[in-house]
């Protein structure tokens, strides 16, 4: 042992400096989880916007069709005494 060799733990791999520069595994996993969470939030936001805007688009489309007289106007039922709803 007098020639400079030690028993026991050695360096994990590479030099001591390269070991310190490696990012910890936990931070890499947290970064990936954050990216996945951001993607899921984007998908949810798109779905919500599409779901909420569809009825408004359909209302506007029906209004345009009625203005151009492409569809018939809804008529209220005629109420009379002998035949209540017709």
Express each pLDDT in 55-70 by its tens digit.
Answer: 888 899 989 998 898 8
Q: pLDDT tier at 39 (50, 70, 90 boundaries)?
A: very high
Statement: residue 32 has pLDDT above 80 = yes
Give domain status of residue 55, yes or no.
Answer: yes
pTM listed for this prediction: 0.40
Give domain status of residue 24, yes or no.
Answer: yes
Give domain status of residue 80, yes or no.
Answer: no
Domain that holds residue 62: 18-67
Instruction: Identify the pLDDT of residue 5.
Output: 57
Give domain status of residue 12, yes or no.
Answer: no
Task: Indicate the number of domains in the chain.
Answer: 1
Q: pLDDT tier at 42 (50, 70, 90 boundaries)?
A: very high
Task: Return all residues near 78 (Cβ < 8 A) that are at least 6 apart.
Answer: 86
Give domain status of residue 51, yes or no.
Answer: yes
Closest CA to 38 of 27, 48, 30, 26: 30
């Amino acid at each position: 042992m007098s020639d400079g060799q030690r028993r026991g733990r050695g360096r994990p791999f590479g030099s001591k400096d390269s070991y310190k520069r490696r990012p910890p595994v936990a931070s890499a996993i947290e970064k990936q989880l954050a990216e996945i969470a951001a993607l899921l939030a984007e998908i949810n936001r798109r779905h919500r916007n599409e779901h909420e805007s569809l009825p408004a688009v359909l209302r506007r489309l029906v209004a345009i069709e009625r203005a151009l007289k492409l569809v018939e106007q809804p008529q209220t039922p005629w109420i009379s005494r002998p035949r209540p709803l017709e």
